[in-house]
A and B are shown apart, each in its own frame.
Chain A
Amino acid sequence: MFERALNVFWVVLGATSAVYAWSLGMIGPAGPESGLFPFIASVIVASAGVVLLLRPATLAHAPDFPRGGGLWRVLGVILGLIVMAAGMPYLGFSVTSFITMIILLRTVDRSSWLSAVTLAFLSTVSVFWLFGSMLGMALPRGPWGW
């Protein structure tokens, strides 16, 4: 069922993209326009989606999506990354990565608070020191300057 829905998505994506690419222009007086190449790619995406939809249901792959603990761990990682991407511009790298690490260690590893805080602190400081200080990368800083 999931794969069928995804195949429909490919068809819709390819068709919509093809219409947009067409609006960019195909062939003009100076030769090929901006839309030609994406139009060809879009048609291939839509056609491949149609072919996949036409395959017998027996050939459709039933994905083994996570359940229970596995699902929580996967969601924990995704949540950690969302916190990282959303928080970095406001809180800076150090604080955001510290919070992310605690989320990851508590949801995925089920670490105790003490070990989660210790490991989060050590890894954040190590990464900040290695990339921020040693390699001179400009990592975002919070309002407090670090």
Chain B
Amino acid sequence: MMEALNGLLTGFGVILTPANLYLCFLGSLIGTLVGVLPGVGPLAALALLLPVTFTLSPIGGMVMLASIFYGAMYGGSTTSILLNIPGEAASVVTCIDGHQMARQGRAGPALGIAAIGSFIAGTLGVVIMTFFAPAIAAAAIRFGPPENFALMVLGLVCTLFMISGSTIKGVLMMALGFLTAAVGLDVVNGRERYTFGSVDLSGGIELLALVIGLFGVAEILSNVETMAKTTLLADRIRGLWPSLADWRASWRAILRGSGLGFVLGLVPGGGPVTAAFMSYALEKRIAAQPDRFGKGAIEGVAGPESANNSAVAGSLIPVLSLGIPGNPVTALLLGALIIQGIQPGPLFIAQQPDLFWGIVASMYVGNVFLLLLNLPLVGLWVQFLRIPYRVMFPVVLLLCVVGTYSANKNVFDLWVMLGFGVAGYVLRKLEYDLAPFVIAFVLAPLLEQSLRQSLVMSSDGAMILIKRPVTGLLLAASVVLTFLMFRRRTKTEGGLP
């Protein structure tokens, strides 16, 4: 307890410098903008800005990237409430009751409760993270390659367990992620694999090109296909502060959303999107008058918006304390750390205390920035919503090109981005979930290294993975979860999973 508080003080010492405060504010500002603008998700924005962070210190870069992630959760609600289209995926459910409130002339309280709920949940999430992450890292510090391997397997199985749609398609995507990551040099002996003599492929597939293609270009292709017309209800924003009755209806939903979001953020495959959906379902189920939902119930805004913010803090714990990302955004953050020469894992907090505690402290500060940015400046964000998508998307596409190119200064990456963009667009249409692909792609080198190190240190082959108690337990949990997953899918789909 005291150790965590001391660490937090160190973190505030790191973050409370003009340069880091500026980067935290800039990240919060960009995050809010990304959340507000439909068609630009936090993942694509992080990927676009990742090369910019290469020129910053690791702490500055990570503070900026993390604040874009949680800033987007704040901004997404504005678009959902005023336009009835989600600014980003975690704000989809906010459209249901938030937009109804706006239609009834209550856009102000809807925006207000979304921002205040986000602030409360975001802060509560970081408080729990402050004490929880070091405890997890301390427990995992004795892990060797077999335990790390088993932990990553469990993380991947959890991801598959949580995805929507077909499990078998999720498994296929995961394996495809492993295969794509195998292109280039073997991490252990430096031998070329799947390069077919190409110099461009010998460096492997660039993470940024892949992510910007799958989540940036594919999103643009989906959006330009429909080019839906929307109605902005911006003239109805009055009185952002919720009334006493609104507070009475919302405070429990905010607390429930905070708790649920945090737990779902911890689980690989969970994260802000799942948290928001689950919170909405929970609020509706336990409501005294469930028929109010869908007609402007303020709990339907307060719960999900709190849950998606709390889930951000939860989802950062496995990546910072174990080195295991639970969703594509945290996978990219892990990639960013690796590019900076830092390997997150159980030793991360002990070896990089300034960086870890700096990130944690920046989240306290960032939440305050975001509250200030989202409530008094709501009028500014509304102006951005007036920009038609047909004008915005070419600029976003240009940014995708610059973001991809700037990673390696290699035009080949643009072809990779285009290829993954088209593939992502088609695969989305066929209801393939892309999250397992990205997570597997990022984890593959670590997973392969752990597996091979485990087999090298073993005297009886793969038995090492069963004989060690922690490894055995983690793999047994993976097997049970896999069995449950396939049984559930077989039952619900009435056929093959």
Chain A interface residues (CB < 8 Å from chain B): 2-3, 6, 10, 14, 17, 20-21, 24, 30-32, 34-38, 40-42, 44-45, 48-49, 51-52, 54-56, 59, 61, 63-66, 70-71, 73-74, 76-78, 80-82, 84-85, 88-89, 93, 97, 100-101, 104-105, 108-109, 111, 119-120, 123-124, 126-127, 131, 135-140
6 CB < 8 A contacts A-B: A24-B191, A52-B169, A70-B227, A100-B398, A111-B390, A126-B395
- CB-CB contacts below 8 Å: B216-248 with A: 217, 220-221, 224-227
User: Contacts A51-B168, A137-B51 known; A45 to B179 CB distance under 8 Å?
Assistant: yes
Give the docked Cα–Cα distance between A101 and B399 (Å). Answer: 12
Answer whether residue B397 sits at the interface, using C-beta atoms and an 8 A cutoff: yes
Contact of B415 (CB < 8 Å), options: A6, A31, A85: A85
Chain B: minimal CB distance from A80 (Å): 7
Give the docked Cα–Cα distance between A89 and B414 (Å). Answer: 11
Q: Is the CB of A36 within 8 A of B452?
A: yes
Q: Is the CB of B493 within 8 A of A131?
A: no
Beyond A51-B497, A101-B398, A104-B393, 14 additional contacts (C-beta under 8 Å) are A31-B455, A34-B193, A36-B451, A37-B452, A52-B172, A55-B496, A59-B495, A70-B227, A78-B221, A85-B411, A93-B402, A108-B224, A108-B393, A137-B402
- Interface flags, B156-179, vs A, CB<8A=1, else 0: 000000000000110110111011
List chain B residues, Cβ under 8 A from A93.
402, 405
Q: Is the CB of A37 within 8 A of B398?
A: no
Secondary structure class of chain A's binding surface, majority of residues:
helix
Give the docked Cα–Cα distance between A80 and B224 (Å). Answer: 13
Q: Is the CB of B186 within 8 A of A34?
A: yes
User: Contacts A63-B430, A74-B225, A137-B51 known; A38 to B455 CB distance under 8 Å?
Assistant: no
- Number of A-B pairs, beta carbon distance below 8 Å: 173
Chain B interface residues (CB < 8 Å from chain A): 51-52, 55, 168-169, 171-172, 174-176, 178-179, 182, 186, 188-189, 191, 193-194, 217, 220-221, 224-227, 390-391, 393-395, 397-399, 401-402, 405-406, 409, 411, 414-415, 417-418, 421-422, 425-426, 429-431, 444, 447-448, 451-452, 455-456, 493, 495-497
Q: Is the CB of B455 within 8 A of A138?
A: no
Chain B residue nearest to A51 in the complex (CB): B168
Chain B residue nearest to A123 in the complex (CB): B395
Q: Is the CB of A32 within 8 A of B421?
A: no
Secondary structure class of chain B's binding surface, majority of residues:
helix
Chain A residue nearest to B493 in the complex (CB): A59
Contact of A81 (CB < 8 Å), options: B418, B426, B429, B495: B418
List chain A residues, Cβ under 8 A from B411.
85, 88-89, 140
Q: Is the CB of B398 within 8 A of A78?
A: no
Q: Is the CB of B227 within 8 A of A137?
A: no
Q: Is the CB of B429 within 8 A of A82?
A: no
User: Contacts A85-B415, A137-B406 known; A37 to B172 CB distance under 8 Å?
Assistant: no
Chain B: minimal CB distance from A103 (Å): 9
Contact of A131 (CB < 8 Å), options: B189, B406, B414: B406
Chain A residue nearest to B226 in the complex (CB): A70
List chain A residues, Cβ under 8 A from B179.
17, 38, 41-42, 45
Give the docked Cα–Cα distance between A138 and B402 (Å). Answer: 10
Give the docked Cα–Cα distance between A77 and B218 (Å). Answer: 10
Give the docked Cα–Cα distance between A78 and B422 (Å). Answer: 8
Q: Is the CB of B171 within 8 A of A127?
A: no
Q: Is the CB of A73 within 8 A of B225?
A: yes
List chain B residues, Cβ under 8 A from A140.
405, 411
List chain B residues, Cβ under 8 A from A21.
193
Q: Is the CB of A77 within 8 A of B186?
A: no
Give the docked Cα–Cα distance between A77 and B22 (Å). Answer: 36
List chain A residues, Cβ under 8 A from B169.
48, 52
Give the docked Cα–Cα distance between A38 and B415 (Å). Answer: 24
Give the docked Cα–Cα distance between A54 and B406 (Å). Answer: 44
List chain A residues, Cβ under 8 A from B430.
2-3, 6, 61, 63
Chain A: minimal CB distance from B165 (Å): 9
List chain A residues, Cβ under 8 A from B189.
34
Chain B: minimal CB distance from A73 (Å): 4
Chain B: minimal CB distance from A46 (Å): 9
Give the docked Cα–Cα distance between A40 and B297 (Å). Answer: 50
Give the docked Cα–Cα distance between A124 and B397 (Å). Answer: 11
Q: Is the CB of B418 within 8 A of A85?
A: yes
Give the docked Cα–Cα distance between A78 and B217 (Å). Answer: 9
Chain B residue nearest to A124 in the complex (CB): B398
Give the docked Cα–Cα distance between A59 and B128 (Å). Answer: 43
Chain B residue nearest to A37 in the complex (CB): B448
Chain A: minimal CB distance from B29 (Å): 15
Chain B residue nearest to A28 in the complex (CB): B189
List chain A residues, Cβ under 8 A from B397.
77, 80-81, 100, 104
List chain B residues, Cβ under 8 A from A101.
394, 398
- Sort A-B residue pairs by CB-CB distance and give the 3 closest, nearest first: A44-B175, A48-B172, A41-B178
List chain B residues, Cβ under 8 A from A20.
194
List chain A residues, Cβ under 8 A from B415.
85
Give the docked Cα–Cα distance between A44 and B457 (Å). Answer: 26
Give the docked Cα–Cα distance between A138 and B409 (Å). Answer: 8
List chain A residues, Cβ under 8 A from B418.
78, 81-82, 85
Chain A: minimal CB distance from B32 (Å): 19
Q: Is the CB of B456 within 8 A of A31?
A: yes
Contact of B391 (CB < 8 Å), options: A41, A80, A109: A109
Residue in B168, B221, B225 whose Cβ sees the most chain A Cβ within 10 Å: B225
Residue in A52, A70, A85 whose Cβ sees the most chain B Cβ within 10 Å: A85
